[in-house]
Amino acid sequence: MHIVVCLKQVPDATEVKIDPKTNTLVREGVPSIINPYDAHALEEALRIKDELGGKVTIITMGPPQAEEAVRKGLSYGADQAILLSDRAFAGSDTLATSYILTQAIRKLMEREPVDLIFCGKQAIDGDTAQVGPGIAARLGWPQLTFVDKVVEVNPEEGTVTVQRKLEAVKAVVKAKLPALITVEKSINEIRYASLPNMIRAAQMPITVWGKKDFDLDDNEIGLKGSPTTVSRIFAPPQRPGGEILGGIEAVPKLVELLVKEKIVANK
């Protein structure tokens, strides 16, 4: 089993704010973390490797400092990591991002076949959940999104069976390998990095690929390759607050208001 995990470094989204004067993102001092869903994607890949043997490769696209997230990922027990980093990749939307990641996976596959790709269900910064399906579409592989349980990986049969979330139901789905899976947090509990793995991760060489290192069409990457553009960012509109009616003595008044205004229907 050779499993690729797409792992994104993200700013801790809870800390990102808008500067009300300039209407730009305040990124200073915002800590970077592994996208939480991707940590679960990595854990699931490692579990399958623990059971069936094989190899786990992390692929990250991001600025040079994303190396930090990559090393963290390695410390959980991944076997190798590739960081895709080039100024020309900046400004990529989900279409360009899925292209760059796919081309890197294709280059990797020239050396060694890939059986499974794991992604998080979404990144907590861009929040789109589009990159996973984008990679699957480009490779022409089956995609299994919002997976909260891998039921079975069967290398002999060449299949994977998962349980995935739909709206009010869960679907048990079986797909042919190779396939792409995006995961929910509830899929597993993340292990602690072992000391030997942490030491190993700190010393491991990390392969960095720039745009010349794999087959890329200039028109499909970065801003040029991105059909969507952010035309404006702003702070979310605040719902105008109402009134605090008071303490417990105000309960009858509240109830009367709600019933009178037919907000709470009188059946």
Partner 1 sequence: VKKAAPAAEGDYQGVWVFVEQMEGEAAPVSWELMGEGRKLADKLGVELAGVILGAQVEHLVPEAFAYGADKVYIIDDPVLARYRTEPYLHGLVKLIRQYRPEIVLMGATTLGRDLSGTVATELRTGLTADCTVLDINPETRLLEQTRPAFGGNIMATILCRTRRPQMATVRPRVMAMPPRQEGRSGQVIREELGLKEEEIQTKVLEYITAGAAGVYLDKAEIIVAGGRGVGAKNWPLLEELARVLGGTVGASRAAVEAGWASPAQQVGQTGYTVRLKVYFAVGISGAIQHLVGMQTSDTIVAINNDANAPIFKIADYGIVGDAAQILPALVENFKQQLAGRR
Ligand X SMILES: Cc1cc2nc3c(=O)[nH]c(=O)nc-3n(C[C@H](O)[C@H](O)[C@@H](O)COP(=O)(O)OP(=O)(O)OC[C@H]3O[C@@H](n4cnc5c(N)ncnc54)[C@H](O)[C@@H]3O)c2cc1C
Q: Taking CB under 8 A as the rule, does residue 239 contact partner 1?
A: yes
Question: Of 77 and 222, which has the nearer Cβ to partner 1?
Answer: 222
- Given ligand X, partner 1, none, residue 239, with its beta carbon under 5 to 8 Å by kind, binds partner 1
Among positions 56-95, residues that touch partner 1 (CB under 8 A) are: 93-95
Phi and psi at 19, nearest 5°, equal -75, 115
Q: Taking CB under 8 A as the rule, does residue 237 contact partner 1?
A: yes
d(CA 201, CA 22): 40
Q: Which of 41, 43, 3 is nearest to 184 (CA)?
A: 41
Binding span for partner 1 by CB under 8 A among 73-81, 84-92, 165-173, 195-203: 165-173
Phi-psi domain of 23 (left: phi exceeds 0; alpha: psi -120 through 50; beta: other)? left
Single residue of 91, 142, 155, 210 touching partner 1 by CB under 8 A: 142
- Given ligand X, partner 1, none, residue 62, with its beta carbon under 5 to 8 Å by kind, binds ligand X
Q: Which of 179, 185, 160 is nearest to 38 (CA)?
A: 185
- Given partner 1, ligand X, none, residue 16, with its beta carbon under 5 to 8 Å by kind, binds partner 1
Q: What binding mask, one character per residue, do residues 7-36 give for partner 1 by CB under 8 A, x or -?
A: ----x-xx-xxx------x-----------
Q: Taking CB under 8 A as the rule, does residue 223 contact partner 1?
A: no
Query: Quick one: how far is CA 3 from the chain centroid?
Result: 16
Angle (CA) 34 38 44, round 5°: 130
Structure tokens at 65: 């400092």
Query: Quick one: how far is CA 105 from the chain centroid?
Result: 16
Phi and psi at 74, nearest 5°, equal -65, -35
Q: Is the dihedral of CA 155, 157, 160, 162 positive or negative?
A: negative
Single residue of 52, 199, 223, 251 touching partner 1 by CB under 8 A: 251
- Given ligand X, partner 1, none, residue 143, with its beta carbon under 5 to 8 Å by kind, binds partner 1
Binding footprint of ligand X on the chain (CB under 6 A): 6-8, 14, 35, 37-38, 41, 59-62, 92-95, 97, 101, 119-120, 122-132, 228, 230, 233
